[in-house]
Structure 1
Amino acid sequence: MQNLIPGDMLEVNQKLKWALDNGMTADETSVINDAVLAGTQYYTDEALEGSYWTVKWNDAHDGIDLYGTTGTVVGTIKPTGSSLEADFRQDAQGLFLRIEQTVAKIVRDN
């Protein structure tokens, strides 16, 4: 459960329960934000066939920056709504599909 990337709100609630049962501090928002970040890293690693780039929330926490091997930002995942959390809550599968496609384009362009 610890390494599960929740793909919908049911899995978010399962992971939240697991975290709380194991003495961790978490809430729905933190589990969703962790899932979006982990999912972005997963798709980035898959597109590059290895862990060559890093993903991090940008300073404003309104997008996820992809950092290339030189440590510079090579692309950003932005929400279509008010936030990536809101996009997840509205349509988690659609968000992850969009992230996968955006990451593939960023990798292709760099």
Structure 2
Amino acid sequence: MAFIQIPHDMTELRIMMEQLKEMGKEANEDQLIEQAVVDNAQQLLDEALDGHYFTCKLEDGKLVVYDVINLPTGSIEPLGKNFKEDFITDADNLWIHLSSNLNRIAGGR
């Protein structure tokens, strides 16, 4: 089985946690979910811009997008209470939500 680099749902996240455990590394589910949200959002944003020009960061419960000179250019709120809950309950819907909003932010540039 290939090592999961970026989990797209809870099943992949649990597999990734087991893979890390087998390698002797500690894995924190909350941190892995946050990183998965950022990494998946970054991939969606890079696709929308045909390259890595903007950067996504989780800040104060929002996903904030920064432009090439590190100025905030937009932000996205979670669908529910927080992105962790969104990832756990319906990751596919979260990716649709992020993709739509990231395309809007990227299109404004």
Q: TM-score, normalised by structure 2?
A: 0.91
RMSD: 1.2
Deviation at 1:12, TM superposition (A): 0.8
Matches within 5 A, 1:58-69: 58=59, 60=60, 62-69=61-68
Deviation at 1:27, TM superposition (A): 2.1
Q: Quote the Cα distance in structure 2 between the aligned partners of 1:10 and 1:32.
A: 12
Matches within 5 A, 1:13-28: 13-28=14-29
Listed as ranges, the gaps of 5+ residues in structure 2 are none
Are the aligned partners of 2:41 and 2:98 in contact in 1 as well (CA < 8 Å)? yes
Paired residue for 1:39?
Answer: 40
Are the aligned partners of 1:32 and 1:88 in contact in 2 as well (CA < 8 Å)? yes
Listed as ranges, the gaps of 5+ residues in structure 1 are none
Matches within 5 A, 1:19-98: 19-58=20-59, 60=60, 62-98=61-97
Deviation at 1:10, TM superposition (A): 0.8
Deviation at 1:82, TM superposition (A): 1.0
How many residues align structurally?
107
Q: TM-score, normalised by structure 1?
A: 0.90
Percent identity of equivalent pairs:
29
Paired residue for 1:99?
Answer: 98
